[in-house]
Amino acid sequence: MPRYKLTIEYDGSVFSGWQRQDNSPSVQQTLEAAAEALDGAAVQVIGAGRTDAGVHATGQVAHLDLVKTLRAGKVRDALNAHLRPHPIAVLEAEDADPGFHARFDATGRSYVYRIVNRRADLTLDRGRAWRVAVDLDAEAMNAAAQAFVGRHDFTTFRDANCQADTPVKTLKSISVERVGQVIQIRTSARSFLHRQVRSMVGSLMEVGRGRESVGWIGEILAAADRTKCGPVAPADGLYLVGVSYEALV
């Protein structure tokens, strides 16, 4: 059976998350229904990351096996035809080695969190960013965020329902940048704990609004205590923007 690697974009606001659910629509289920309509047989779609309800993606990666042997471009176009009108698009389909695995072969995942820092309500960005009305100090947030870089016990930023074997993760990079009213927090690592990014963003918000000092992030990280974490940022500002399959440097 031929295997295909997919690069996928989706608006997560109408889904219960990536992973298949019994009683609510998921991105995985919707893709599998489209693939079954194309192939004429049940198809399993394996994603590189399990995004939560409300989280978006511009660079999710998945793989699937089909009974039919088709050109990769045909797979992309046919899947997109069957996906309409759902807010999911297959940006690219590629022929993959039979041993390729979208999740286990991934060596890095990158996320962006979008904040719109303004008093007025959101219109075009509603459901796609976190509106924060109070003025934020993005430079202080960026300075504080550097405490996350490297190998740490991220228990403070780990959701209570996280199923990872260990809270120890290695964060490759994180940056906080402002362009006008938009603040973007970019981060990458081999893998993340459940709701780790949203937990980090929520704590950085406390620094940005002046409630906590730049050094506070390092202190609560070292505490390895979930109760020390700031409020968890909402899902709708988070985007999975890329998955890499080369060694992180």
How far, in Å, CA of 175 to CA of 194, rounded? 20
How far, in Å, CA of 134 to CA of 167, rounded? 32
Q: Give the contacts of 201 (CB within 8 A, at least 6 positions apart).
A: 113, 115, 185, 233, 237, 238
Q: Which of 52, 95, 125, 159 is catalytic?
A: 52
List, as one string, the DSSP characters of 142-191: HHHHGGGSEEEE-GGG--TT---S-SEEEEEEEEEEEETTEEEEEEEES-
Task: Let me know: does 38 contact 122? Beta carbons within 8 Å.
Answer: no
Strands 56-65 and 238-244, sheet pairing: parallel
DSSP assigned state of 24: S
Active-site annotation holds for 52: yes
How far, in Å, CA of 132 to CA of 181, rounded? 10
What is the C-alpha radius of gyration for the chain, rounded to an integer number of angstroms?
19
Catalytic residues: 52
